[in-house]
Amino acid sequence: MTALHPVDDHARRREGWERAAPIVIGENSWLGASVTVGAGVTIGRNVVVGAGSVVLHDIPDHVVAAGTPARVIRTTPAEDP
């Protein structure tokens, strides 16, 4: 979900204005079934996002996150060099 729509500017919304913000998913991350990621969100490296979660804020590296809205449940070990 990368589209952002004007909320307060009714005229611009009627005219169909919208903008996009990228989603970044880090290396070796896994998103469970039916995860929704909001516009402009960055998901870190080695992250697991639980099924059905709604990710509206950035998620740091090396964590498990889940829920609506998604929140960090626990950390995971950093990978060996």
* 27, two tokens: 């290396």
Is-contact 28 43, C-beta < 8 A? no
Active-site option among 5, 10, 57, 62: 5
Q: Is 63 helix (H, G, I), strand (E, B) or coil?
A: strand
Annotation says 5 is catalytic: yes
How distant, in Å, are the alpha carbons of 48, 50, 60 from that of 73?
A: 10, 10, 12
- Tell me the catalytic residues: 5
